[in-house]
């Protein structure tokens, strides 16, 4: 199904928004076919479908799962929206197609292993490792359904709209009255009344009311039991046989809950992530790759963003966002340094640490050890302040490393910018 996307994201977590927020939050995102499998486990109606990672698997799926279908929906599986309107780098238009069953294999071959670029992927696009083959449903009606955690009501909030599909964003702006919101008491859970209110808001035309109520309750159960931060079904559709079906779903999971959601988190697809970010995640570092020239290592998301801001104010370009966090070990600092120095675009590195829980001597030892292990080709500007600052500064001094020390934020950004353009030491 073709889906649009809403413009501004406003839910807050870890105090960042936009790309930062999504990355920073490290909310697990899973593929449509994985979402369908998970929903199926909870008894939620999903279209019949199977994922295929190779042309042979496409063939087998057609034979075993869809032997008698005349038409099949073939959907590229990438972790971004806007697939329907996207374009493959190979030239193929559209990441989602409804085709005659005999054309499915060919189409699958054209999609698998190719890069799909959509409004949400950025110009570099994302690789299609699997396609999802689904039954073509005869849909009577398309609605919108989502559950999220709402700060105002301090609990789960169900959002429903009797009109779903691509233009939900426009709908939200033009006809906000068609959207209903049902807050759920987080201690009591979803009641039959709550679920009935949602179904009334969805206003299905033919779907059985009681079964629809049950479907809503199952969706809520999945949302809570899997630690979802967002569960969005667009479209939630009615089929010709009076069922409510989750025709397409987007599920985000709270990374903070990984320790108790091992099965869900094993679904993570690292091929959809920047390899630098995958490496950083392995070392439990919060890293986002950008395309500037000044590599950054900072402790704290707010300070890291502020460091980006001030680098740009001084005319430089940040190569990345990297938050070593409050309890980074020396090993993690070493890993962070390695990732920064392995980025070819980086012309200077700025380490800006204001130690609270993070201790300056730990950072300093990490930098010194990293420099020993890595072939340091770019100048490093270091600004340290906070807990154990004197020990930290001493460690750096005694290391004999060629470092440029900065006193404050302005000084640090200026020196990093100037080193990137005109290195004095290398």
Partner 1 sequence: MAASTRRASQLLGSAAARLLHARGFAAAAAAAPSPAVFVDKSTRVICQGITGKNGTFHTEQAIEYGTTMVGGVTPKKGGTEHLGLPVFNSVAEAKAETKANASVIYVPPPFAAAAIMEAMEAELDLVVCITEGIPQHDMVKVKAALNKQSKTRLIGPNCPGIIKPGECKIGIMPGYIHKPGRVGIVSRSGTLTYEAVFQTTAVGLGQSTCVGIGGDPFNGTNFVDCLKKFVDDPQTEGIVLIGEIGGTAEEDAAAFIQESKTQKPVVAFIAGLTAPPGRRMGHAGAIVSGGKGTAQDKIKALREAGVSVVESPAKIGSTMFEIFKQRGMLE
Closest CA to 22 of 334, 243, 296, 230: 230
29 labelled ligand-binding = no
110 labelled ligand-binding = no
**6 contact partners, CB below 8 Å, separation of at least 6:** 168, 169, 172
248 labelled ligand-binding = yes
Clarify whether 293 is annotated catalytic.
no
84 labelled ligand-binding = yes
Q: Cβ 66 to partner 1, closest distance in Å?
A: 30
The catalytic position among 32, 232, 277, 335 is 232
C-beta of 199 vs 308, nearer to partner 1? 308
Closest CA to 299 of 335, 327, 324, 334: 324
Beta bridge partners of 394: none
Distance (Å, whole) CA 199 – CA 147: 14
152 labelled ligand-binding = no
- What is the DSSP code string of 135-151? EPP-EEEEEEEEEEEET
C-beta of 50 vs 247, nearer to partner 1? 247
Structure tokens at 67: 């032997």
C-beta of 203 vs 230, nearer to partner 1? 230
Q: Cβ 242 to partner 1, closest distance in Å?
A: 26
SS3 label, residue 85: coil
Q: What are phi and psi of 16, to 5 degrees?
A: -130, 160
331 labelled ligand-binding = no
Clarify whether 144 is annotated catalytic.
yes
Structure tokens at 250: 């987007």
C-beta of 159 vs 396, nearer to partner 1? 159
376: number of Cβ within 10 Å: 18
Per-state percent for the chain, helix, strand, coil, to nearest 5: 40, 25, 35
Q: Cβ 293 to partner 1, closest distance in Å?
A: 15
The catalytic position among 33, 144, 220, 287 is 144
Q: Cβ 317 to partner 1, closest distance in Å?
A: 10
C-beta of 190 vs 358, nearer to partner 1? 358
Sign of the torsion formed by the C-alpha atoms of 29, 319, 301 and 309: negative
Q: Cβ 263 to partner 1, closest distance in Å?
A: 16
Q: Point out the annotated binding site for Mg(2+).
A: 234, 248
Q: Point out the annotated binding site for ATP.
A: 75, 82-84, 142
Q: Point out the annotated binding site.
A: 75, 82-84, 142, 234, 248, 299, 356-358
Q: Residues with catalytic annotation?
A: 144, 232
Q: Point out the annotated binding site for substrate.
A: 299, 356-358
């Amino acid at each position: 199904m073709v889906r649009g996307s809403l413009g501004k994201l406003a839910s807050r977590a870890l105090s960042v928004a936009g790309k930062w927020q999504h990355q920073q939050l490290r909310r697990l995102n899973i593929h449509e076919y994985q979402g369908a499998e998970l929903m199926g486990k909870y008894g939620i109606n999903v279209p019949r479908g199977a994922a295929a990672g190779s042309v042979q698997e496409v063939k087998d799926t057609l034979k075993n799962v869809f032997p008698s279908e005349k038409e099949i929906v073939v959907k590229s599986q990438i972790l971004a929206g806007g697939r329907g309107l996207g374009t493959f780098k190979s030239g193929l238009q559209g990441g989602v197609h409804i085709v005659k069953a005999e054309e499915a294999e060919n189409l699958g071959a054209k999609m698998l292993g190719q890069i799909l670029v959509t409004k949400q992927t950025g110009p570099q696009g994302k690789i299609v490792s699997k396609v999802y083959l689904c039954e073509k449903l005869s849909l009577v009606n398309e609605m919108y359904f989502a559950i999220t955690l709402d700060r105002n009501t301090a609990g789960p909030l169900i959002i429903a709209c009797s009109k779903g599909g691509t233009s939900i964003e426009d709908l939200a702006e033009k006809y906000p009255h068609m959207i209903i919101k049902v807050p759920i008491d987080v201690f009591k859970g979803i009641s039959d009344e709550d679920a009935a209110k949602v179904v009334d808001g969805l206003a299905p035309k033919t779907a059985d009311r009681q079964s629809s109520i049950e479907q809503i309750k199952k969706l809520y159960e999945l949302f809570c039991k899997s630690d979802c931060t967002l569960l969005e079904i667009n479209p939630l559709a009615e089929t010709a046989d009076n069922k409510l079906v989750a025709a397409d779903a987007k599920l985000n999971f709270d990374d903070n809950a990984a320790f108790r959601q091992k099965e869900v988190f094993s679904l993570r697809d690292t091929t959809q992530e920047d390899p630098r970010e995958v490496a950083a995640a392995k070392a439990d570092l919060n890293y986002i790759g950008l395309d500037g020239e000044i590599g950054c290592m900072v402790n704290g998301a707010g300070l890291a963003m502020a460091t980006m801001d001030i680098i740009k104010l001084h005319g430089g370009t940040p190569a990345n966002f990297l938050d070593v966090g409050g309890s980074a070990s020396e090993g993690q600092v070493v890993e962070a340094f390695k990732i920064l120095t392995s980025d070819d675009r980086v012309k200077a590195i700025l380490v800006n640490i204001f130690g609270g829980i993070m201790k300056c001597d730990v950072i300093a030892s990490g930098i010194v050890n990293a420099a020993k292990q890595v072939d340091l080709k770019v100048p490093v500007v270091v600004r340290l302040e906070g807990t154990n600052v004197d020990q930290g500064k001493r460690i750096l001094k005694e290391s004999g490393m060629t470092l440029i020390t900065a006193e404050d934020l302005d000084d640090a950004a200026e020196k990093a910018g100037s080193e990137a353009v005109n290195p004095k030491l290398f």
